């Protein structure tokens, strides 16, 4: 695991969050203070949620565009019709 200082200085937001999740997981595993555990767990859940949102956005960007690209690659007609403006015909 990289040090938080290094990742913060050089990493992307996703890298920073993943490193934070690892730090939080380690803190949860080593936590002996029962009062601190709920806050660590909450922060861990929020961090994981952010990571999933970012990864989802990176991997599932434009779903319609992906479908159209697949159809074009397969030489099928487009699934979306061109919208005509008033007066075009």
* Residue 86 confidence (pLDDT): 74
The answer to whether residue 31 sits within a structural domain is yes
Q: How many domains does the chain have?
A: 1
Q: Is 87 helix (H, G, I), strand (E, B) or coil?
A: coil
State the chain's mean pLDDT as an integer: 80
Examine residue 58 and state whether it is found in any structural domain, yes or no: yes
Residue with tokens 């203070």: 33
Residue 87, in any domain of the structure: no
Q: Is residue 57 part of a domain?
A: yes
* Domain-embedded: residue 9: yes
Examine residue 20 and state whether it is found in any structural domain, yes or no: yes
Vertex 43 angle, CA 29 and 60, to 5°:
110
Tens-place pLDDT, residues 49-79 = 999 888 876 655 566 666 766 777 777 766 5
Its domain, for residue 52, covers 4-73
- Indicate whether 81 belongs to any domain: no
Dist CA 85 CA 89 (whole Å): 8
In a domain, 85, yes or no: no
């Amino acid at each position: 695991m990289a040090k938080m200082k290094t990742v913060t200085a050089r990493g992307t937001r996703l890298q920073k969050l993943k490193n934070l999740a690892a730090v939080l997981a380690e803190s949860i595993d080593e936590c002996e203070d029962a009062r601190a555990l709920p806050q660590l767990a909450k922060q861990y859940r929020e961090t994981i949620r952010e990571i999933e949102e970012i990864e989802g956005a990176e991997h599932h960007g434009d779903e319609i565009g992906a479908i159209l690209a697949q159809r074009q690659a397969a030489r099928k007609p487009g699934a979306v019709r061109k919208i005509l403006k008033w007066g075009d015909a």
